[in-house]
C-alpha cells in the first residue's frame, strides 16, 4: 500500500521559519503532481502549493514569496520551506500526491502535521 507521512510541524514565533517534509512509501510506479494543503480550526481546507513531477510550481496568493515547495523524486519526498510565518499560517498541513500504480492513478493523503505560529 501507499503511505504519505508528513513531518516538521512545530510551534514557532511570528517571523520564524519551518520546513515540512512529506515522504511517500509503498508499492507504486511513480508520483505525478504533489501538493500541500492546510486546514485551520473552523475553516475549510485550502491549497497552499503544488508541484508537478517536472518541478512546475503554483502557490496560493497568501503564501507566495514566503513559502517554497520542492521535491526530490529520487527520495519520493516533497518539502515546504515556510519563511516569515504569520499567526494566520497556523493550521494542520497535509500533503497530497497522485500516485501511479499498475492499475491506474490515485490520490493519497498524509495524516497531517500541526503548525502553530504564536508568540
pLDDT in tens, 14-63: 999 999 999 999 999 999 999 999 999 999 999 999 999 999 999 999 99
Cell 500500500 belongs to 1
3-state secondary structure of 40: coil
Sheet holding 3-7, edge to edge: 3-7, 18-25, 77-82, 67-72
> Residue 64: what pLDDT?
98
Amino acid at each position: 500500500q501507499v503511505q504519505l507521512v508528513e513531518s516538521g510541524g512545530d510551534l514557532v514565533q511570528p517571523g520564524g521559519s519551518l520546513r515540512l517534509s512529506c515522504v511517500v512509501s509503498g508499492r507504486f510506479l511513480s508520483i505525478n503532481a504533489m501538493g500541500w494543503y492546510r486546514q485551520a480550526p473552523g475553516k475549510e481546507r485550502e491549497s497552499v502549493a503544488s508541484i508537478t513531477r517536472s518541478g512546475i510550481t503554483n502557490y496560493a496568493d497568501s503564501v507566495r514569496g514566503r513559502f517554497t515547495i520542492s521535491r526530490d523524486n529520487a527520495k519520493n519526498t516533497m518539502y515546504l520551506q515556510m519563511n516569515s510565518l504569520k499567526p494566520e499560517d497556523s493550521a494542520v498541513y497535509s500533503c497530497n500526491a497522485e500516485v501511479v500504480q499498475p492499475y491506474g492513478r490515485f490520490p493519497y493523503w498524509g495524516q497531517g502535521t500541526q503548525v502553530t505560529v504564536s508568540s
